[in-house]
Amino acid sequence: MVTVATAGRNGITAEERKVIFASSLGTVFEWYDFYLYGSLAAIIAKQFFAGTDPNTAFIFALLAFAAGFLVRPFGAIVFGRLGDMIGRKYTFLVTIVIMGGSTFVVGLLPNYASIGLAAPVILIILRILQGLALGGEYGGAATYVAEHAPHGKRGAFTSWIQTTATMGLFMSLLVILGTRTAMGEEAFADWGWRIPFLVSVFLLGISVWIRLSMAESPAFVKMKAEGKTSKAPLTEAFAKWGNLKIVILALVGLTAGQAVVWYTGQFYALFFLTQTLKVDGATANILIAASLLLGTPFFVIFGTLSDKIGRKPIIMAGCLIAALTYFPIFSGLTHYANPALEAALKDSPVVVTADPATCQFQFNPTGTKKFTSSCDIVKAKLAAASVAYSNEDAAPGTIATVKIGDTMLTSFDAKGLSKEDAAAKDKAFSKELADSIKAHGYPTKADPAQINYGMTLLLLFILVIYVTMVYGPIAAMLVEMFPTRIRYTSMSLPYHIGNGWFGGLLPTTAFALVAFKGDIYYGLWYPIIIALMTFVVGMIFVRETKDNDIYAND
């Protein structure tokens, strides 16, 4: 006989603590594995893509990283189906073994110099396996914990799962920093980068041991005993309009907005500090890490609060407040982290004059497309240098020019040029442009003496608070939206499409928007529009779920 936790019971049992700890520990470990690759992309590029030039090598390294995000929804489908057919426990035990094994093998994998083309091919396969495993892990962990939680405490219980991505990122940064410091940069770049991957095998062993000792979720056991498990969860989840409609609403009205707020607060903020504001990497990472450390308890706070006032009000409020305040917050980051750049943006306007037919929207999620027109070249360089500019139309066929104060520079068209000629022109134009930009007050890096660290940290902390508002209650809400027999499948797909695609494409899309418009803040329109879309759809069509009976099998 399976007992179901009741709403009236107070406190938390030892078994429930074990469920939360084991599920969260395993998921922290999976995110740790996943982020190691991204943090070490530059070194991995040199190790595994050495058969190309450095720029192309880095592009392919990032492409391999992106593959892990792009396949996450497919992992959700594969492992979600297994989880609804054979059980939650064994499915997300399999996902952690795949993730941990793939990570460990990366640490052992011979580089390009040793085995040639086989090295990057195997690396990409391992990244795809990691993405598939992560696609199956989150839904399993969230479902497992929620189905063990007493009614009225699902938000509090599942909010611990929501802390895992942040803690995994934090752990990966600490291990990398510790290894780097202990052995020195040269040895780390040569072979020491493998150590963070290899030590993951110990975390894997602990996680597997704990998960093997865990029982299956009571909701699944009850359903199985009654003979109500689904024989075709994919068909039930996605081929029947009644459930498919809820899946679509979960994506558009919940996870898409949650994802862009999450990525803006934890990833785009770091990208903005280092790439746009030119804050040095170590300082930026410390500031982001500190904001995450301060903000992490609020995942549990908002998850617990959602048990009392509902999931929907907190998530919707997070999306709306974020959308309304992103522009002033990021403007404030510029003011406090690089005031010299703020002054240059105000005092030294820049104008790009070009044939509009030659100016593309530089959306490049794969990193392989080339933008060779004179307009695209100058805009990309200005965007990378954090220089805002306005646009003026020129006659068809005109080579683009850029006016910085009273200085006029002419770009070049790389189409049809040999690789050597294009590189020579690019080098000459880049130097000319950089010299002119610097002469008009645009800093090449933020001055540490001018950074207001306290206010910068406060603004980053506010961004993390938005993350905790939308992310803390989301697992409980997704679990509560779907019937037990197809819950793992149904909740995993919208979550990973939202986070893997809508969120994962944020940096690329934001850069394309900045280059297109010439405003360093213009990329914020992407998360703002997606968050507002989720707010509108969620407020109108998504129902509150905190009082749903998750043990119903209808």
* CATH code for the domain of 118: 1.20.1250.20
140-167 burial: b if 16+ Cβ within 10 Å, else e: bbbbbbbbbbbbbbbbbbbbbbbbbbbb
Determine the average pLDDT of the residues in 109-119: 87
| pLDDT class of 416 with cuts at 50, 70, 90 | confident
| pLDDT class of 56 with cuts at 50, 70, 90 | low
Domain-located, residue 2:
no
Residues 151 and 239 in one domain: no
| Contacts of the segment 361-370: beta carbons below 8 A, 24+ positions apart | 361/512, 361/516, 362/511, 362/512, 362/515, 362/516, 363/508, 363/509, 363/512, 364/508, 364/512, 365/66, 365/505, 365/508, 366/63, 366/66, 367/59, 367/60, 367/62, 367/63, 367/66, 368/59, 368/63
The tens digit of pLDDT for each residue in 468-477 reads 999 999 999 9
**Which range has the worst mean pLDDT, 79-93, 112-126, 142-156, 509-523?**
79-93
Strand partners, 352: 391, 402
Residues 427 and 543 in one domain: no
| pLDDT class of 240 with cuts at 50, 70, 90 | confident
Residues 266 and 207 in one domain: no
- What CATH number should be reported for the domain holding residue 372? 3.40.30
CA 476/CA 488 separation, integer angstroms: 12
Residues 36 and 155 in one domain: yes
Domain-located, residue 381:
yes
CA 497/CA 504 separation, integer angstroms: 9
| pLDDT class of 38 with cuts at 50, 70, 90 | low
Domain-located, residue 9:
no
Domain-located, residue 271:
yes
Last residue of one domain, picked from the residues 197, 226, 255: 226
Residues 332 and 350 in one domain: no
pTM: 0.84
Q: Does the structure show a pLDDT above 50 at 264?
A: yes
Domain-located, residue 71:
yes
How crowded is residue 14: how many other Cβ atoms within 10 Å of its Cβ? 7
Determine whether 360 is exposed, middle or buried from the number of CB atoms within 10 Å of its CB (0-12, 13-18, 19+). middle
Residues 309 and 387 in one domain: no
Q: Does the structure show a pLDDT above 90 at 447?
A: yes
Q: How many domains does the chain have?
A: 3
Nearest to 275 by CA among 330, 329, 322: 330
Q: What is the structure's pLDDT at 490?
A: 87
Residues 215 and 298 in one domain: no
Question: In sequence order, which ranges of 71-117 are alpha helices (DSSP H)?
Answer: 72-86, 88-108, 112-115
Q: What is the structure's pLDDT at 175?
A: 87
| pLDDT class of 9 with cuts at 50, 70, 90 | very low
CB 467 within 8 A of CB 266: yes
At 320, is the secondary structure helix, strand, or coil? helix
The tens digit of pLDDT for each residue in 503-525 reads 877 877 887 788 788 889 999 99
Structural domain span for residue 171: 15-226
Higher per-residue confidence, 80 vs 411: 411
| pLDDT class of 58 with cuts at 50, 70, 90 | low
Q: Does the structure show a pLDDT above 70 at 3?
A: no
Residues 543 and 458 in one domain: yes
Percent of the chain at pLDDT > 90 equals: 34
Q: Does the structure show a pLDDT above 90 at 454?
A: yes
Residues 150 and 122 in one domain: yes
Last residue of one domain, picked from the residues 439, 465, 496: 439
Q: Does the structure show a pLDDT above 80 at 7?
A: no
Contacts of 516 (CB under 8 A, 6+ apart): 359, 361, 362, 379, 522
Question: In sequence order, which ranges of 385-486 are alpha helices (DSSP H)?
Answer: 419-439, 453-471, 474-481
CA 441/CA 340 separation, integer angstroms: 7
Determine whether 230 is exposed, middle or buried from the number of CB atoms within 10 Å of its CB (0-12, 13-18, 19+). buried
Determine the average pLDDT of the residues in 101-114: 90
Determine the average pLDDT of the residues in 91-102: 85
CA 363/CA 462 separation, integer angstroms: 29
Residues 333 and 409 in one domain: no
Percent of the chain at pLDDT > 70 equals: 92
Domain-located, residue 472:
yes
CB 7 within 8 A of CB 185: no
Q: What is the structure's pLDDT at 4?
A: 41
Higher per-residue confidence, 226 vs 533: 533
Last residue of one domain, picked from the residues 439, 472, 496: 439
CA 546/CA 149 separation, integer angstroms: 12
Determine the average pLDDT of the residues in 3-18: 56
The tens digit of pLDDT for each residue in 359-382 reads 888 766 555 567 889 998 998 888
**Which range has the worst mean pLDDT, 125-134, 227-236, 395-404?**
227-236
Residues 139 and 222 in one domain: yes
The tens digit of pLDDT for each residue in 311-322 reads 999 999 999 999
Q: Encoding tokens for residue 446?
A: 């933020």
Residues 334 and 211 in one domain: no
Domain-located, residue 519:
yes
Domain-located, residue 281:
yes
Q: Does the structure show a pLDDT above 90 at 281?
A: no
Q: Does the structure show a pLDDT above 80 at 194?
A: yes
